[in-house]
Each structure stands twice: as C-alpha cells, then as structure tokens.
C-alpha cells in the first residue's frame, strides 16, 4: 500500500483469507464455520468482510443486533445470518429479512413464536441458547422441558441449532471450568434433541475454543477475533495476521521550550527544549483519552513516539524530540507489526475494544 496521506484504516483481505484458512485447518472437514461480523466486523467494514467471507465459503455469519443483519441482507449477502441478541420489537424485521434469531429465554421464545404464527411461517429457523456459566444470556439446564412444551405446541418454528458460549476458553488455568461448561452443554443439548425428535446443529466454541478445545467443536465453530488476526495467546498470534492497520500523518511540528504546555488543561509541560507533532486522529476516531499523557504511543519512521497531553476529539500530540521526521510523514497507530493488542495493553484493555472503537468517519481502504 502507498504511504498514508490522511487518517485511514487499511483492511488487508489477504490476511483475512490467511486467518480463515488457518482456523479452518483446525477443524474437521464436516464441521461448519460461522464468522462473526458484529460491530462493523470488529471495526473494519461489515459489508466488505461479510461478502469476502461469503466468497471464501463461510457457512454462517453472526451479528449482535437485527439492524446489522438487515444492512448485510440489503447489500446482497445471502448466507444464513444468526442474530445473537435480538430485541422483541425487531422480530418482524428478522423474518422479513430471513435472519435467524438466538432464542435465550421463555419470554423471547413465546414472543417469536407469536410473531412467526402471525406472519404464517412454517418451521422458521431459530437457535436455542443455553447458559452454561457465562451468565449473560441463555436458558438453564432445567428449562429443557418447558422449551419443549412451547416448541411442540407450534409448527411455525424449528430449532436450527443449539448453542452456548465459553467464558474463559483462552485461560488454561480455567480448564476445569471450561470442561464443566462443555459437559453441561453436551447434556442439555442432547436432552433437547432427544425430546425434539429431530437433529439440530450444535456449536459452542469461540476462537480460543477452536484452538484449545477440539472436543467442543460439535457441528459448527464460531470465530470472531481470530478472523481479524488475534488468537488470545502469544503463540497463536504468531500464526494469525492482523487484518487492520490504522495510519495517519503528521499535520504540524512544533518546537517548544521548557515549561511550555501541550494540549487541553496543560496536562503536559516540557522539561526542556522539545519537538512535538500533531496528528489528525482523536477520541472521536477511537483513540480514547486514556491513551494520553504518556500511556499510548504511535510509530514514525520505525521509531516509537509517546502520546503527550490529553487526546483531543480530532487530534493528538506526540513527542518526536529524538525522531527524524517531517510534516506529512506517515504515522502508524497500529498495524501487523505494531499491533492493536500491544497498544491496547498500554492502557490495560484488549484488542477488541481498540479495533471496534475505530470511528466510521475514518476512511477504509481495502488491500486485496
């Protein structure tokens, strides 16, 4: 790619393909793969990523909310789309757009059956979610008979899959907990399938579950962060390629003297004669204020430069006293070498938070 001349998020689709192939190599050929494209495809571009994954042969996609799925359908995405957290008011839109809801409580199941009946649906695909320890969403193990009684009373819906979510699959110190989750899900899903009288797909693993718990691959696996280049461990990160690179430029260089301040609230004051650079990216673009005051950093001409003062809405300032640079030079916020994970760790957060925060006002550029 040419050097950046403005703030851009470069998306490397060849890296995405590499990650897809690597994760695919970890599962049996008969196991399906679901790609998670919620939150604007983890801050990249949901439509482009979904279409590319569709071309690669992904079996399923998943979004968090109905609106995200509708956008994909309107863009021409054809593969099945699971909506992980549907809201009752959106059930008609789900059916109108051939989206498939996660059903996680008796109330949600009852309401969706009612909407499916109202719209004269026959065997509309739904996905039953069990809570096995994340304690976020899902039916409990002892809800099986109640779920069956609701399902047996209608022909408007059919259980396409049964699933759950691992809480700590990346943490091998929590292996006993994870194995208990897998055991509980196996028991609940088998009981539900036996009482349904027909088979349904089962899926449980996230990216780190794919890598660490092959016994939990079942019929399908789900991957989000892995597709975008992070494997939840240092060793796995080496086998994946970060898809997104956030770049900007130096707008202006200032020479300041001892005691002069930089930015709002004068939170940085020079200890001597210093050179600073202003970059056109700020907290409205996803680089939050927590990265300011020496915690965060960027790279210029291969050299690390600390962010100084408070991050502004549209700009941040860096210390380039010891770096040879000029106005217009490219600035790397994160890329495949200087990763989003490393930058996120500087303020005690994770790659997910940093990459999903990149504002949609930042121009996306695709490398194919």
**Mean pLDDT score of the chain:** 97
At 343, the pLDDT band (50, 70, 90 cuts) reads very high
**What DSSP character marks residue 214?**
G
Q: Note the pLDDT tens digit of each residue in 77-115.
A: 999 999 999 999 999 999 999 999 999 999 999 999 999
Token pair for residue 189?
Answer: 């899903």
At 2, the pLDDT band (50, 70, 90 cuts) reads confident
d(CA 307, CA 95): 48
pLDDT at residue number 35? 98
- Mean pLDDT, range 209-222, rounded to an integer: 98
Q: What percent of the chain has pLDDT over 70?
A: 100
pLDDT at residue number 140? 97
Q: Note the pLDDT tens digit of each residue in 281-308.
A: 999 999 999 999 999 999 999 999 999 9
pLDDT reading at 361 higher than 90: yes
d(CA 199, CA 9): 43
d(CA 210, CA 170): 10
Token pair for residue 99?
Answer: 């989206």
At 220, the pLDDT band (50, 70, 90 cuts) reads very high
Number of H helices, E strands in the chain: 12, 19
Set out the domains of the chain in order of their start, with CATH numbers.
31-228 (3.20.20.10), 244-367 (2.40.37.10)
pLDDT reading at 256 higher than 80: yes
pLDDT at residue number 368? 86
- Mean pLDDT, range 33-55, rounded to an integer: 98
Q: Note the pLDDT tens digit of each residue in 183-193.
A: 999 999 999 99
Active site residues: 38, 264
Q: Note the pLDDT tens digit of each residue in 134-165.
A: 999 999 999 999 999 999 999 999 999 999 99
pLDDT at residue number 323? 98
pTM assigned to the model: 0.96
pLDDT at residue number 233? 86
pLDDT at residue number 268? 97
- Mean pLDDT, range 226-238, rounded to an integer: 92
d(CA 111, CA 108): 5
d(CA 141, CA 153): 21
pLDDT reading at 1 higher than 80: no
């Amino acid at each position: 790619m040419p050097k950046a001349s403005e703030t851009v998020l470069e998306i490397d689709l060849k890296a995405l393909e590499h990650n897809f192939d690597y994760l695919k190599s970890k599962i049996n050929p008969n196991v399906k793969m679901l790609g998670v494209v919620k939150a604007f495809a983890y801050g990249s571009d949901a439509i482009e990523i979904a279409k590319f994954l569709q071309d690669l042969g992904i079996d399923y996609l998943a979004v968090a909310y109905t609106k995200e799925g509708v956008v994909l359908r309107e863009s021409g995405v054809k593969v099945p789309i699971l909506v992980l957290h549907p809201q009752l008011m959106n059930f008609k839109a789900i059916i109108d757009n051939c989206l498939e809801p996660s059903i996680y409580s008796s109330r949600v199941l009852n309401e969706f059956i009612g909407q499916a009946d109202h719209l004269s649906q026959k065997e509309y695909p739904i996905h039953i979610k069990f809570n096995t320890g994340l304690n976020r969403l899902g039916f409990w193990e002892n809800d099986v008979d109640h779920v069956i009684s609701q399902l047996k009373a209608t022909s408007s819906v059919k259980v396409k899959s049964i699933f759950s979510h691992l809480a700590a699959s990346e943490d091998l110190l929590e292996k006993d907990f994870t194995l208990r989750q897998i055991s509980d899900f196996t028991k609940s899903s088998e009981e539900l399938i036996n009482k349904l009288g027909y088979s349904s797909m089962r899926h449980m693993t996230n990216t780190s579950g794919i890598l660490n718990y092959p016994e939990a691959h079942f019929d399908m696996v789900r991957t989000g962060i892995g597709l975008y280049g992070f494997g939840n461990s240092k060793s796995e990160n080496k086998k994946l390629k970060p898809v997104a690179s956030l770049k900007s430029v130096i707008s202006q260089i200032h020479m300041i003297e001892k005691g002069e301040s930089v930015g709002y609230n004068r939170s940085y004051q020079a200890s001597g004669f210093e050179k600073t650079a202003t970059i056109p990216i700020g907290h409205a673009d996803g680089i939050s204020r927590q990265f300011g005051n020496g915690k965060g950093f960027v790279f210029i001409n291969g050299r690390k430069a600390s962010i100084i003062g408070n991050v502004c809405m549209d700009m941040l300032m860096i210390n380039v006293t010891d770096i040879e640079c000029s106005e217009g030079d490219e600035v790397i916020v994160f890329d495949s070498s200087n990763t989003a994970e490393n930058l996120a760790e500087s303020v005690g957060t994770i790659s997910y938070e940093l990459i999903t925060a990149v504002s949609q006002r930042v121009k996306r550029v695709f490398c194919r």
